[in-house]
Structure 1
């Protein structure tokens, strides 16, 4: 199968990112590209969901299997293709962007970013919607195409690692599952030890991994989750401040009010008056 779409320049010139060309190749062992320096004026993202392929970088042949991919910056020399004996299942997109993302910056700096990702993180339905909109292109689809591409890039930022990264994807996945559990049960009396035990790591190791992957400490993440729930309950219910405190993991309303004021700059009742309708 060979899906290949080329989009016209968007009518609106200020999208933060926009696909120029995209496709999906399976059972296409002839797929191979070799582009000279300066030939392609857009970013080129390939993600492998099955089979095998390869990419060359500085004379080194890098194997590409399920869960691996590459991102070339604008104007970079490119050489890659499918394994003739086991054709890859690859989804790809050429795109323009004004975004400043670490992944894009790394590609610009090194002239090629090679990574691993979790194929089960939901990329394929997003690509499929992009293909559908591209096949029946209308100008009114442009905002959605830009949004879908942005979703792929940001999801990839959160769920990928450099090909020789220090944090394997299965560890990243387990930390995010733990974070989701903490978020959904933020009223529980979580301790660092309890959170680490849930993830299956020592407290020290969990703290280091969580900060690296989530960008904040577990306790700060827990506090942010509790504040988000508290603000929602304040503006959407008539529960008392004491009841909301209990539902957000605070057993003393006075402490809840103190923490809320420290983080939000005003007490809960004032927040409710300002933001509830």
Structure 2
């Protein structure tokens, strides 16, 4: 692939999210300025990621630097300007994507609430690698079909949302490893009488700290996560086996049939027996609470 590739796509289809333009560019002149009031594409959103050098974004009465590893996210409808200054004598190298569609605008609003107009991602992150993949599909494989490209854009946007939520957690690699260790232990031992003390001991941390980590990362508690897994298994066994309901509750780690029935009703608004019989309204063999 060579530098300074850029592609634009034009169609009138507003029923789906579509690609307006995408590219890889190097600029070294201060003539490069992109003010929103000069744009012919209102309603679009732009993501522009710095590979080398630095650009600037003027927005909301402030100037935000765009150094290596940072990306701007702006809506063309909003007042802003991004540009290059020759103060460091190093060209600004970046890749960008311009998307049109209501869903893209909604996601941009959510991203702004989470991280602001400038976000940071590593060059080898899934988000940036997926953007390179879209450029590769167009440049090398000559893919121009709007539906194929739309699927790629949706995939890229899902990665953007996921990485934003991961960044929001901001609990560090060691803490993430601890939480995954706890979740794995719960999934493998849900039938056992697990307690918060036992889970904390397995993870070699204080139980209060484990709860704080879980809440920040998973937006729930370790014991609530355990209860979700137990109900998931119970739902599957009710539909795929003829085991007695009391035995299912026991196999799923519920201490008594009455407690199993109480918890099950909290999730499904009916008893385990009613769910087993009610196959028309709830025809699922499994339900997941992730």
- Regarding TM over 0.5, the answer is yes
Per the alignment, residue 47 of structure 2 pairs with: 45
Provide the residue aligned with 1:192 in structure 2: 196
Instruction: Please identify the structure whose Cα radius of gyration is greater.
Output: 2
1:22 aligns with 2:27: no
Q: Hey, what's the Cα distance between the residues in 1 that align with 2:62 and 2:24?
A: 27
Identify if the C-alpha distance between structure 1 residues 105 and 150 changes in structure 2 by more than 3 Å, giving closer, same or farther: closer
Give, in angstroms, the shift of residue 144 of structure 1. Answer: 1.6
The Cα of 1:43 is off from its aligned counterpart by: 1.5
Q: Does residue 1:256 correspond to 2:263, yes or no?
A: no
SS at match of 2:67: strand
Give the root-mean-square deviation of aligned CA atoms.
4.2
Q: Provide Cα deviations, 1:188-232, integer angstroms capped at 9, x if missing partner.
A: 544334555666754334433433333333333332233233323
Alignment pair present for 1:114 and 2:79: no
For 1:103 and 1:140, locate their aligned partners in 2 and report how far apart those are by CA, in whole Å.
21
**Structure 2 counterpart SS, 1:38:** helix
Contact kept in structure 1, 2:7 and 2:22, CA below 8 Å:
yes
Change (3 A) 1:167 1:130: same
Deviation (angstroms), 1:118: 6.5
Bigger mean CA deviation after superposition, 166-175 or 113-122: 166-175
Distance of aligned partners of 1:269 and 1:63 in 2 relative to their CA distance in 1, 3 Å threshold: same
- The 3 A distance-change label for structure 1 pair 199 and 259 is same
8 Å Cα contact 2:66-2:72 kept in structure 1: no
- Contact 2:200–2:206 (CA under 8 A) maintained in structure 1: yes
Which residue among 205, 209, 234 is the counterpart of 2:238? 234
Summarize the Cα distance change of 1:181–1:224 in structure 2 as closer, same or farther, 3 Å threshold: same
Q: Deviations over 1:1-57 (max 9, x none)?
A: 43433233363x233x443222356xx474985211334432212345x65544344
For structure 1, list consecutive stretches of 5 or more residues without a partner in the other structure: none
Offset at 1:233? 3.7
- How do 1:37-186 residues align onto structure 2 when only pairs under 5 Å count? 37-40=36-39, 41=42, 42-47=44-49, 51=52, 53-57=54-58, 58=61, 60=63, 62=65, 64-66=67-69, 68-74=70-76, 75-80=78-83, 91-99=95-103, 104-105=109-110, 107=112, 113-117=117-121, 122-124=126-128, 126-131=130-135, 134=138, 135-141=142-148, 143-161=150-168, 167=170, 170=173, 173-174=176-177, 177=180, 180-181=183-184, 184-185=187-188
Taking structure 1 as the reference length, what is the TM-score of the superposition? 0.69
**Aligned pair in 2 of structure 1 residues 9, 196: CA closer, same or farther (>3 Å)?**
farther
What CA distance in whole angstroms lies between the structure 1 residues aligned with 2:107 and 2:188?
32
SS of the equivalent of 1:160 reads helix
DSSP-derived class of the 2:19 partner: strand
Compute the TM-score of the two structures, normalised by the length of structure 2. 0.67
How far 1:260 sits from its partner (Å)?
0.7
Contact conserved, 1:70 with 1:113, CA < 8 A, in 2?
Answer: yes
Q: Which residue of 2 aligns with 1:4?
A: 6
Number of aligned residues: 265
For structure 2, the residue ranges without an aligned partner over 5 or more in a row are: 286-290
Partner of 2:288: none
